[in-house]
Amino acid sequence: MLPLIIAPNKILRTVVKSIQLPVTNDIKKLAVEMSETMFYYHGIGLAGPQVNRDARIIVITTADGVSTYLNPEIIKTSWRQVDMEEGCLSIPGVFGQVRRPRRVLASFYTLTGEHRKEWLDNMLARVYQHEVDHLNGILFTDKAWRINQGQDLLAKYGLV
């Protein structure tokens, strides 16, 4: 398990570096450790900066288990937007309403080094967007149009 980074740590505001291919054993090990950390903290997604790694890697819990996305990008988004409450392991106790596209065309590499483009829908699309934001130094509180819970914690986390 890896230590979880909590705001206002500066790495959470950093655009992190791409992972060099081919995929190394260190990156595969990092993916496993990130998954274990995500489960330990009862999360559904986790990005490299949240475990103090300057690396474009995210892990997300899916119906089929855990998916790892290397150098993930969003190529296209649907016009339909959906509002939903979001939280973040790196901002404990804060939850807010965020509007995001319902579908995204994702471009990424797998742990085997295969490049893929896939349309992601609904919750998977939301979590993917949230985690890609982390790789670009963006927190959900930057996009929230209302904080539902934890308004009093925003100053503690350096988010006001």
In the annotation, is 131 catalytic?
yes
- Distance (Å, whole) CA 55 – CA 40: 21
Taking alpha carbons only, the member of 39, 54, 138, 59 closest to residue 91 is 138
Going along the chain from its start, the domains and CATH numbers come out as 10-153 (3.90.45.10)
Look at residue 129 in the predicted model and tell me its pLDDT. Answer: 98
- Distance (Å, whole) CA 51 – CA 43: 13
Look at residue 63 in the predicted model and tell me its pLDDT. Answer: 85
Look at residue 53 in the predicted model and tell me its pLDDT. Answer: 98
**pTM assigned to the model:** 0.96
Would the pLDDT of 160 be above 90?
Answer: no
- Per cent of the chain over pLDDT 90 is 98
Look at residue 18 in the predicted model and tell me its pLDDT. Answer: 98
Identify the active-site residue in 36, 86, 114, 131.
131
Tell me the mean pLDDT in the region 124-143. Answer: 98
